[in-house]
Structure 1
Amino acid sequence: MATEKKSTSAQASLRITLKRSPIGTPYKHRLVLRGLGLRKLNATVLRPASDQVKGMIAKVGYLLEVSPQ
């Protein structure tokens, strides 16, 4: 029998919005924002609620607004 793969839409996801400018923040924090896919103010991305993404959010949470999808 074929096994079904879980789609990413079936998993819990997070809606992440960049609310504050990264100007004046440490360079590594800007790299984390790039890793999340956030480049402009008020940009919103959907990311899975994995441990890696939660760790990135914890690092730059002061710049973000996070809500469950």
Structure 2
Amino acid sequence: MADRKLEITQVRSGIGRQSKHRRTLEALGIRRHQQSVVHNDTPAIRGMLRQVVHLVSVREIGE
């Protein structure tokens, strides 16, 4: 699990969403719509993604 990475792309807008969801997107490093970031596949990141699953798409990158 440590070698895997996740590519996270915001596909829905954060406008009008709960502030908790907007703060989670910012904590993931996503600043604007359609931006992609890459993170290690950790339980903390998975928990953050569970909160904003309706706003992002996730792709596993096996390295």
Q: Give me the TM-score of the superposition, normalised by structure 2.
A: 0.91
Counterpart of 1:46, as a letter, is V
Distance in 1, matches of 2:55 and 2:5, equals: 19
Aligned length: 60
Q: Which runs of 4+ in 1 moved over 3 A?
A: none
Q: Give CA-to-partner distance per residue, 1:15-50, whole Å, 9 cap, x none.
A: 000000000100011000000000111100000110
* SS, match of residue 59 in structure 2: strand
CA RMSD of aligned residues (A): 1.0
Please identify the structure whose Cα radius of gyration is greater. Answer: 1
TM-score, with normalisation over the residues of structure 1? Answer: 0.84
Tell me the percent identity: 35
Please list every run of 5 or more consecutive structure 1 residues that lacks an aligned counterpart in the other structure: 1-9
Aligned residue runs from structure 1 range 1-20, under 5 A = 11-20=3-12
